[in-house]
Amino acid sequence: MIRKFLSRVFGNKPRGRGEPAVIPHSRHGIRREAISGGSRRVAETLQENGYQAFVVGGAVRDLLAGIPPKDFDVATDATPEQVRRCFRRARLIGRRFQIVHVMMGQETVEVTTFRGHHGQWDGARAQTDDQGRVLRDNVFGSQKEDAARRDFTVNALYYDPVTETVIDYHSGMADLEQKTLRMIGKPATRYREDPVRMLRAVRLAAKLDFSIDEDTRRPIGELASLIENVPPPRLFDEMLKLLTSGHSAQCLRQLRAEGLHHGLLPLLDTIVEQPQGKRFVTLALENTDRRVREGRPISPGFLFATLFWNEVLVHWEALQDGGERPIPALYQAMDETLDTQAEKLAITRRVAGDIKDIWALQPRFEVCSGKRPYGLLEHPRFKAGLDFLRLRAEAGEVDAALEAWWSDFLAADGETRAAMLAQKPAEKKKRRRRRRTVRADAEPGRESTDTEIA
Ligand code: ATP
Ligand code: MG
């Protein structure tokens, strides 16, 4: 009801069935200066050449929601070849569904030709797997069809920088106003076509602080297992987006609430069911979210290293109890953990290498005398390893004095370093055995936080 009313308010003029609302600047407030110079020039040039061209998707949504967009994509009715001919520096990307990268100064603008809704455009049925997942989706279409194949109504808004209007086929403006994430079309069908949309719902709701419309949310629980059919590299990309969204703690909590994590992070249940694991992961996610919000870089290796660490600890301990020596036991535990997880997520070899480096550094921090600490400082992943040690100290897994010693050692000059190596920290001997005890005094006031993964 409200939605209908709002869309009537936003709509410029009465429109027929299937006609989009054309929303003027006075209603949406976005000036052409708000979009990137590159995307604006690309859209203008395409229009000068007689084509339709709009900024579309996440950028329009974020601008309207008052969030700085990550990137600006352009959608057009020109074919990739026609787009390429309009620009001096442009290249075609991809084989199945070609897009064009147009280089504008430092900026690369991705230009996509309107995509048709499979099966309706040329009479051909889209290829799907047994569960209805779309395997081919590569026909050009009209703007209307392009809007219909997008996922959420707020993601199907087109901004025309020339007229400063927003074209809205699915009442996305009204949903933005109501802070609602709503699937275009029949949610269950759209999730079957592409189960990643379930993850996108969770991620975008957390990012935008929107609620997921009840009809859009309901089928997720039932269809969650379809995630397992998604090719692992795509899951890896999506998980990375989710974890680096600046809202990872909220996203993982929601994933668990919807039962979506089973196919993604099989270890997540075991991790968060143990108080120590839960505490560590919670701190790690909060730490990541803080970094993202402060605009500091985060590495996928570090992130996944934190998520799976507790599992490594469990294996490591078991192997040592079975008589294995500590370092070989650690390496074996690392491999076992990564093998379990990597299959689902297609963790790339480079990221897996980073993860192992960070883990393998941990026992090396135990040595605070002799020449070895100097060697450790030179390790290319030293900083990441130390950040990891800091999290472990915060979680009460290692003595805070150990992390403090290393931070001091890193900051000290040559003379001070030599002096530090000569004196032995009193706690050193106790450290290893305390690993698995949660220290209530590790950090006052951090025992339980409201962002913990429930
Ligand atoms: P963000 O960039 O903040 O991660 P986004 O919505 O821009 O979010 P992109 O992956 O950049 O996400 O996708 C751009 C647009 O493409 C979306 O806004 C949406 O319109 C469309 N889109 C992306 N993924 C899907 C999908 N799985 N199903 C349907 N439409 C999609
Ligand atoms: Mg985007």
Phi-psi map region of 30: left, alpha, beta (phi>0 left; psi -120 to 50 alpha): beta
Out of 151, 160, 387, 399, the active site residue is 151
Q: What is the pLDDT of residue 264?
A: 66
Mean pLDDT of 214-237: 90
Q: How far is the CA of 88 from the centre of ligand 2 (A)?
A: 25
Q: From atom 21 of ligand 1, which residue's Cα is the shortest distance away?
A: 150
At residue 103, φ and ψ (nearest 5 deg) are -90, 125
d(CA 394, CA 391) in angstroms, rounded, equals 5
| Residue 5, pLDDT above cutoff 90 | no
Active site residue 73: yes
| Residue 352, pLDDT above cutoff 70 | yes
Which tens digit of pLDDT belongs to each residue from 394-417?
A: 999 999 999 999 999 999 999 999
Which tens digit of pLDDT belongs to each residue from 44-87?
A: 999 999 999 999 999 999 999 999 998 999 999 999 999 999 99
Active site residue 71: yes
311 or 325, greater pLDDT: 325
Out of 73, 137, 175, 387, the active site residue is 73
220 or 272, greater pLDDT: 220
Q: What is the pLDDT of residue 126?
A: 58
Q: What is the pLDDT of residue 279?
A: 84
* 3-state secondary structure (DSSP) of residue 211: strand
Q: What is the pLDDT of residue 139?
A: 81
Ligand nearest the Cα atom of residue 71:
2
Which pair of structure tokens corresponds to residue 322?
């079975």
Mean pLDDT of 114-126: 56
Q: Chain-wide mean pLDDT for the chain?
A: 85
**Do 392 and 362 contact (CB within 8 A), yes or no?**
yes
Q: What is the pLDDT of residue 15?
A: 58
Which pair of structure tokens corresponds to residue 367?
């040595």
Active site residue 387: no
Q: Which ligand 1 atom lies nearest to the CA of residue 197?
A: 27
Q: What is the pLDDT of residue 391?
A: 95
Q: What is the pLDDT of residue 78?
A: 96
**Do 220 and 214 contact (CB within 8 A), yes or no?**
no
Model pTM? 0.81
d(CA 203, CA 333) in angstroms, rounded, equals 31
Given 1.10.10.10, 3.40.50.300, 3.30.56.10, 1.10.3090.10, which CATH number is that of 300-422?
A: 1.10.3090.10
Q: What is the pLDDT of residue 232?
A: 81
Mean pLDDT of 328-341: 91
Q: How far is the CA of 57 from the centre of ligand 1 (A)?
A: 6
| Residue 120, pLDDT above cutoff 50 | no
Q: Is 150 in the pocket of ligand 1 (CB under 6 A)?
A: yes
2-190 maps to CATH 3.40.605.10: no
Q: What is the pLDDT of residue 431?
A: 45
pLDDT range class, residue 6, cuts 50, 70, 90: low
Mean pLDDT of 360-379: 92
| Residue 374, pLDDT above cutoff 60 | yes
Q: Is 11 in the pocket of ligand 1 (CB under 6 A)?
A: no
Q: Is 57 in the pocket of ligand 1 (CB under 6 A)?
A: yes
Which of 96-100, 103-107, 113-117 has the largest mean confidence?
103-107
Q: What is the pLDDT of residue 257?
A: 85
**Do 333 and 319 contact (CB within 8 A), yes or no?**
yes
| Residue 426, pLDDT above cutoff 70 | no
Mean pLDDT of 128-155: 83
At residue 380, φ and ψ (nearest 5 deg) are -60, -25
**Do 174 and 182 contact (CB within 8 A), yes or no?**
no
Q: Is 146 in the pocket of ligand 1 (CB under 6 A)?
A: no
d(CA 272, CA 255) in angstroms, rounded, equals 13
Domain definitions of the chain by residue range: 2-190, 300-422
| Residue 432, pLDDT above cutoff 60 | no
Which tens digit of pLDDT belongs to each residue from 441-454?
A: 333 333 333 333 33
d(CA 404, CA 385) in angstroms, rounded, equals 14
Q: What percent of the chain has pLDDT over 90?
A: 62
Which tens digit of pLDDT belongs to each residue from 242-291?
A: 889 999 989 988 888 888 877 666 556 666 666 777 788 889 999 999 99
